[in-house]
Structure 1
Amino acid sequence: MRRKIVCKFGGSSVENAIQIKKVKEIIKDNKNRKYIVVSAPGRDEKYNEKITDHLINIALKGQHLSKKRISTNDSKEAVIKKFSTLCNDLDISKEKIIPFLENDFKTTLKEKKKIAFLASRGEHYNAKIIAEYFNKSGINTQLVLPEDIGFILNDDYLDAKIIDKTYTNLEKLKTEDKICIMPGFYGVTQNGDVAILSRGGSDLTGGELAYSINASLYENWSDIDGVYEVDPRIIKDADVIPRLTFKEIRLLSTKGFNVFHFDAMINCKKRNIPINIRNTNRPSASGTIILNERVHTEDVVGIAKLDNMAYIYLEKDGLGEEIGFMEGLLSIFNKYQINTYFYPTDKDDIAVLLKKEDLTGNINNLRAEIEEKLSPDVIDVVYDLAILSMVGIGLKYNSYAIADAVTVLKDNNIDIEMLDQAPAKLSFHIGIAQHHADTALKLLYNKLILND
């Protein structure tokens, strides 16, 4: 049976004619790459804003980019110029794209429906251009639009979820012998209205397509070589991690590695479909493969860093045994739409980790409500915290890595504000003062990954 590979190309991979030609060569290089999902074409040249943000700005009549003094007309001009340039450089007739795009700008849709519709136009027209270009280049290509194939979402228009019927509809693509190009990020409701996934949703489109056709591999192409051991902007010698489990990438992604849309992995994991993160600009590099299982040769495979964090510390006799205390505490955070990360706890105290920015304008009301409803003996807020998260399946079999981490920080006079290990023992987390964050990351990288 022929292997079926789904490829998703991100915005930087399809932002201009040069990049799209690279995509064409990547597809030609492997005959099993039959299913292609594309994003909107990156950023414009004048304002260096993403095309999707320009489209949202048009929908919101200039409010979305008002702080950058980019008007509705500015955004319209930027979007039209981007697509006109693509058409010219790829020798595609602009008459097939620009008049329809300009007409879309005049949509009479209102509110969320309007935002979703216009936000989706980047992917929609980019897919049309790329499909046309492939066919002109002699690659037998079929454009598959979500509205035609039945990529059906619920009616939560700006953060929509896929409904089960979509998987049955996508299965129809299994027998297609052509290259199939589909725009990512959007689908349609059962009433036929356009709805969009969360930002980064083209990853999810690719993942759900891979699941539906039971692909042998899902390749996610962008402008990075893969998942690095640590942030390469801080440690330039950091290597790409060749293999990770779904659990490891999940832990790294939630702790500062913004590499991949997590929801895109869920169904691939269910069907044991590997995900390969690749670089469009270096297609010879093998990237990072994400698998259900791997054989580990190290304890810590990667270290993530969350900056500008804070925690709220509560102390009350017996809070760890008080039925409903945790539920009540988290309900307060939910009321203020504050996302919490994790909460080290004991019998008499708890610390809830969150982003510092989420406390802006909320802290006084939050504190008052916690005091009123939960009556803690002590409530304190610690700001300017960085969280370093060590991740690796090898940690399950070696707890001494925690001791090594604590020792190297102690030897370099870096105080630990918080220490926590997840129950599965696949990660542990150290909170330190923000101004020590980069230094601590380098120390922990040298000790736990390089074993220096």
Structure 2
Amino acid sequence: MEHTVTCKFGGSSLANAGQLEKVRSIIEDDPNRRYVVVSAPGRDDGDCDKITDHLLNIATEGIHFREQRKDTSPKQSYDSVVGTFTRLIDQSGIDGSDLLSDLKKDLNTTLSTDKRIDFIASRGEHYHAKLICRFFQKKGMHARVMMPEDIGFVVSDDFSNARVLPEAYDNLKELKSLDGITIIPGFYGVTREGDVAVFSRGGSDLTGGEVAYAINAAVYENWTDTDGVYQVDPQLVRDARVIPRLTYKEIRLLSSKGFDVFHFDAMINCKKRNIPINIRNTNNPTAPGTLIVSERVPEETAVGIARRDNVAYIYLAKDGLGEVIGATKDVLDILEKHAVKTYHYPTDKDDLAVLVDQNDLISNANIIREEIEHSLKPDVLEMIYNLSILSPVGLGMKHNPGILARAAAALMDEKISIEIVDQGPGQISFHFGIQGYFADAALQTLYKSLIENGYPMT
């Protein structure tokens, strides 16, 4: 296999000309880094909102930020987007007047609603790729930009949640025939009809993974602003260390349980071809980062602890409820109808609980309560708010059946109550629901018990 490397750089890695220079140096440092996927520009001027959020606010005529109770008008978002690209063009010293002109035209598109939202949302990556290519060329690099529409990156017409279609991979293989450095915007593809459709948020990771899979890259490097995947949030546990190696399974569990690390769909095809994923730090390029691989021999029990805040749970009780065929499905169907994201749903003979996204639930709580009562007629129906879910993960847990009990005992010693307990069927993760007020202390306790003290393999 040719030792080619696909690199994806996140927005924080590309927030200003200084960051662009770091990226240029990283690419030039290894001639195998030939395929570069880029995100939209990161925040660099005091703006607390991401450029993609501003683009969505423009596309929805202000609805996007109003739903978040933010007082930012479409005009303010427009000025922020244009201002960001103007600043980057000026800082990088390229001729970008045509890019700004085309960007302004695109932001005023007359496309219909779904197509308009995805088209405008993709413009951050689209124009950033063009800008970066010109910056590289100005520095004497042999670089070209290839848009999804140019390379046949074909996706479904599920706007805002597009899926890569099979023919895209044959088309992307043709990238291997190109010499030099190929820059590709992340986050979006084109439908068979030629419309722009974006992936879910964080979709630039997905673009990078799909390009790596199609060209059968030797490694997929995902460059961000941290040294790798930490055992726990280092802002909460100062001594937390970078995890040197994880399996695809472990990182998927960590990503899906609240680790803001990686779009876990991005690794599905990499796993099929055993393409390692290396999470690296643009600001510390000599650090080895975290390597995600198919298999590893665990030297520890828990490798990391994920945390998800703003969780609520719906609790139902009725004699024999857990034995009613379809009871859990009925509840999940109601929640799906009201677009409430669900996480876990432990059951027993006479009761069941569903853990959900609290923000999704609050606005629909009354109608959801009415529909559940009408459908299942429970004796008890409660909605409990302000939970955090703490999820230790690690391959070694499967061989240590006492670890859950030890973790619970550690929390008990600190007088921290556990509201919900659930264990994954693969036995390499479990989940504690803790009142949010105690979440920081609970995380630190679990870290000390399961990781810092080196809970031994048996």
> Is the alpha carbon distance of 1:44 and 1:111 closer, same or farther for their aligned partners in structure 2, counting shifts above 3 Å?
farther
Is 2:255 aligned against 1:245? Answer: no
2:338 is equivalent to residue 318 of structure 1: no
Q: Quick check: 55-64 or 197-206, which moved more?
A: 55-64
What is aligned with 1:185? 187
Matching residue of 1:77? 79
User: Contact 2:328–2:352 (CA<8 Å) still a contact in 1?
Assistant: no
1:219 corresponds to which residue?
221
C-alpha spacing 1:326/1:105, structure 2 compared with 1 (3 Å): closer
CA distance in 1, matches of 2:225, 2:77: 25
Equivalent residue letter for 2:40: A
- Asked if the contact 1:46–1:78 (Cα under 8 Å) also holds between the matched residues in 2, the reply is no
Cα drift, residue 123 of structure 1: 0.8
CA 236–168 in structure 1, closer or farther in 2 if over 3 Å, else same: same
Match of 1:293 in 2: 295
Deviation at 1:105, TM superposition (A): 2.6
1:115 paired to 2:103: no
Q: Which residue of 2 aligns with 1:267?
A: 269
Q: State the alpha-carbon separation in 1 of the partners of residues 282 and 248 from structure 2.
A: 22
Question: Do the aligned partners of 1:311 and 1:353 also contact (CA within 8 Å) in 2?
Answer: yes
Q: What is residue 353 of structure 2 aligned with on the other side?
A: 351
**Worse overlay, 64-73 or 110-119:** 64-73
> Structure 1's 408 and 82: CA in aligned 2 closer, same or farther, altered over 3 A?
same
Q: Which amino acid aligns with 2:31?
A: K
1:8 corresponds in structure 2 to: 8
2:53 aligns to what?
53
Alignment correspondent of 1:43 = 43
> Which residue number in structure 2 is paired with residue 284 of structure 1?
286
Partner of 2:403 in structure 1? 401
C-alpha distance in 2, partners of 1:288/1:276?
6
Residues 78 and 415 (structure 1 numbering): CA distance in 2 closer, same or farther, change over 3 Å?
closer
Quick one: distance in 2 between partners of 1:379 and 1:63? 33
- Write out aligned runs for 1:135-174 (5 A): 135-174=137-176
Deviates more, 1:132-141 or 1:40-49: 40-49
Secondary structure of 1:385's counterpart equals: strand
Q: Is the CA contact (8 Å cut-off) linking 1:152 and 1:165 kept in structure 2?
A: yes
Report the aligned-residue RMSD.
1.6
SS in structure 2 at match of 1:43: coil
1:251/1:97 CA distance change after superposition, 3 Å: same
Residues 207 and 218, structure 1, Cα contact 8 Å, conserved in 2: yes
User: Which segment drifts farther, 63-72 or 19-28?
Assistant: 63-72
**CA–CA separation in structure 2 for the residues paired with 1:333 and 1:428:** 23
Which residue in 2 is equivalent to 1:414? 416
Match of 1:197 in 2: 199
Q: Displacement of 1:401 after TM fit?
A: 1.3
- Structure 1 spans left out of the alignment, 5+ residues: none
Please give the alpha-carbon distance, in whole angstroms, between the structure 1 residues aligned to 2:15 and 2:316: 49
CA apart distance, 1:41: 0.8
1:222-280 CA deviation, whole Å, 9 max, x = no partner?
Answer: 11111111111111111011111111111111211011101111111111111111110
Distance 2:18 2:242 in 1: 25
User: Is 1:44–1:79's contact at 8 Å kept on the other side of the alignment?
Assistant: no
Partner amino acid, structure 1, of 2:389? I
Q: What is the CA distance between 1:312 and its match in structure 2?
A: 1.6
TM superposition shift of 1:338: 1.4
Deviations 1:316-348 (A, max 9, x none): 222333222222222122122212111222222
Q: Kindly state the Cα deviation for residue 155 of structure 1 after the two structures are TM-superposed.
A: 1.4
Structure 2: how far apart are the matches of 1:24 and 1:383? 47
**SS of residue paired to 2:344:** coil
Output the amino acid matched with 1:163: L
Is the aligned partner of 1:65 residue 2:60? no
Identity over the aligned pairs, expressed in percent?
56
Residue in 2 that maps onto 1:366: 368
8 Å CA contact 2:155, 2:197 repeated in 1: yes
Q: Deviation of residue 71 (structure 1)?
A: 2.7
Distance 2:60 2:13 in 1: 27
TM-score under structure 2 length normalisation: 0.95
Q: Which runs of 5+ in 2 are unaligned?
A: none
The AA in structure 2 aligned to 1:87 is I
CA separation in 2, counterparts of 1:385 and 1:373? 26
Q: Say how many residue pairs are matched.
A: 452
- Equivalent of residue 307 in structure 1, options 306, 309, 314: 309
Equivalent-residue separation in structure 1 for 2:413 and 2:335 (angstroms): 37
The change in CA–CA distance for 1:78 and 1:336 in structure 2 (over 3 A counts) is: closer
CA separation of 1:432/1:59 partners in 2, compared to 1, >3 Å: closer, same or farther?
closer
Name the counterpart of 1:102. Answer: 104
* Separation (CA, whole Å) in 1 of partners of 2:367 and 2:54: 35
Q: Partners in 1 of 2:105 and 2:334 — Cα distance?
A: 45
Contact 1:44/1:51, CA 8 A, preserved across alignment: no
Deviation at 1:44, TM superposition (A): 5.5
How many angstroms does 1:91 deviate by?
Answer: 1.9
Name the stretch that deviates more: 281-290 or 430-439: 430-439
